[in-house]
Amino acid sequence: MAHTTSLTPDQARARLADLTVIDVRTPGEYASGHLPGAHNIPLDHLDAALSVLKTAADGGDLLVVCASGARSAQARERLAEHGIAAATLTGGTTAWVQLGHDVHRPAGGTRAAWAMERQVRLAAGSLVLAGLLAGRRWPAARRLSAGVAGGLVYSALTDTCGMARILAKLAHNQPKATDLDATLAALGG
């Protein structure tokens, strides 16, 4: 996989036993269903795992996964900047599930948070609605709605999402330190 930058879900499924899968979604998204054997290292914690990921990559091929492929592409680029080769899953876990491939969920009733895309829709919609409603009394409040709309257009044009980056920092989207430590120990050992 030295020059491969992406694998289709079918290619990844065929090689799953030979891959170290890193899921860069939030812990809640990961808990809602992930590729078998995937390790959860949220994108905003990737830098803390670089040395462990370098060791894992030296021992075999890395596959970086997210919901759609956007965050995993960012992770792959960040890893490449540090000399760590990795591929992404084309279409992410969404494509994986659509093809009927198996997903695992943690045992013990772990809460499943909303997917980040759904969290963004709720936050953006709520802010637009609040701006419009407040704008009935204070016309300047409509700027909030305009700002969110502009942010959504920018997000679509650049395939980035500032709101998702902000929401990812909320407590319910953060891994417990013990969970991240256990993941890093499992990868390093």
Among the listed residues 101, 79, 105, the one whose alpha carbon sits nearest the alpha carbon of residue 15: 101
Quickly count: other Cβ atoms within 10 Å of residue 50's Cβ: 15
- Reported as a single tens digit per residue, the pLDDT across 76-122 is 999 999 999 999 999 999 999 999 999 888 765 555 567 777 888 88
- Reported as a single tens digit per residue, the pLDDT across 140-170 is 999 999 999 998 888 888 877 888 778 877 7
Strand 61-65 relative to strand 39-40: parallel, antiparallel, unpaired?
unpaired
Higher pLDDT, 130 or 177: 130
pTM flag (> 0.85): no
Average model confidence (pLDDT) across the chain: 86
CA distances from 177 to 6, 16, 169, 181, 182 (A): 30, 27, 14, 6, 9
CA distances from 48 to 43, 53, 92, 144, 158 (A): 10, 10, 23, 35, 26
- Is pLDDT above 60 for 59? yes
Alpha-carbon span 39 to 98, nearest angstrom? 21
* 60-86 mean pLDDT: 93
> Would you tell me which CATH number, out of the four given (3.30.70.20, 1.10.10.10, 3.40.1080.10, 3.40.250.10), belongs to the domain 6-112+175-188?
3.40.250.10
- Is pLDDT above 70 for 24? yes
According to the model, what pLDDT value does residue 178 have? Answer: 60
pLDDT band at 7 (very low <50, low <70, confident <90, very high): very high
Delimit the CATH 3.40.250.10 region(s) of the chain.
6-112+175-188
